[in-house]
Amino acid sequence: MTYLEWLKHASLLLVNSDSPKRDAEILLCFVTQKTRTFLMAFCETALSIEELSNLDICLKRRMNGEPIAYITGEKEFWSLKFNVSNATLIPRPDTEKLVELGLEYLPKVPCEVLDLGTGTGAIAIAMATERPDCLFTAVEKNRDALILAQTNANQIGVNNVYFLHGDWYKPIKSRKFSMIISNPPYIEPTDIHLSQGDVRYEPRTALVAEDDGLADIKLIIRGATKHLHQYGWLLIEHGWTQAADVQTIFKQQGFQLVETFTDYSGNERVTLGRWFKP
């Protein structure tokens, strides 16, 4: 079977995928270790028995609904390649909006930034590549995720991100930062989407929060008042229906200039505020 024949075969089987052709291409690139350009240019190349066997395994996993990123063990984010595992959420394109806003509101001078619940390290590492003059501290309570994030930092080559193990603010003690940024769990435990699509394979602890999905967001906002410098910024990613509630929590805790921004799909996704204590 040639590259082209396998792509056609796989695309027909991946009928439940949102992008069957693209999924098939990614799997073929992964198994053959060839670029998409190479596959298209040499589409009549015959696959080896070993390649066909490995492709069959990958294809069955994808047909069962397992995310492509977990099959290949990697995901692109902010034009960087991150290792992923089932210990972490898969970095999503919409979270790049959180990074974009973080960089926009970051002081133009060297400062310290805290990333809470870092997962793969995508947010802190992406920002660190753009601001090598700043020091980033990334906190994660899952040890496997923390090891993965450190590996990503090493492979990408950033040396201005430090990783701490622990639950939210506990590991940082009394330290203060110019910015706190987080993509915390914010899905309600009863949300039907938890049993659909790629999300089924991702760790529930990184997805689900009590109190209508707001429990961790409330904890982060309240804690930020003790760990932000005067005029420091807090940025939080949240569910597309939670903007009004999150804004209210920000304002109740004394934050100013509270504003919500939409992601690249037009959904209200990131709320931020500036800390000011009279």
* Strands 268-275 vs 161-165: parallel, antiparallel or unpaired: unpaired
| pLDDT reported for residue 165 | 96
Report the C-alpha gap between 231 and 108 in whole angstroms: 14
Tokens read off for 197: 């699509």
Looking at residue 248, its pLDDT comes to 95
Amino acid 96: pLDDT:
94
Q: How does pLDDT run across 19-34, given as a tens digit for each residue?
A: 899 999 999 999 999 9
The kind and range of the H/E element at 52 are helix 49-63
Residue 277's pLDDT is 84
Question: According to the model, what pLDDT value does residue 192 have?
Answer: 64
Residue 117: left (phi > 0), alpha (psi -120 to 50), or beta? left
Residues facing residue 75 across a β-bridge? 82
Taking only the tens place, the pLDDT of each residue in 107-151 is 999 999 999 999 999 999 999 999 999 999 999 999 999 999 999
Classify each residue of 145-167 as buried b or exposed e, where b means 16 or more C-beta atoms within 10 Å of its C-beta: bbebbbebbeebebebbebeeee
Q: How far apart are CA 45 and CA 2, in angstroms?
A: 5
The CA distance from 69 to 164, in Å, is 25
* Amino acid 196: pLDDT: 63
pLDDT of residue 194: 62
Q: Name every residue whose Cβ is closer than 8 Å to that of residue 70 and which is 6 or more positions away in sequence.
A: 84, 85, 86, 90, 201
Task: Mark the ranges of the chain whose per-residue pLDDT is less than 70.
Answer: 190-201, 203
Q: 252 φ, ψ to 5°?
A: -65, -30
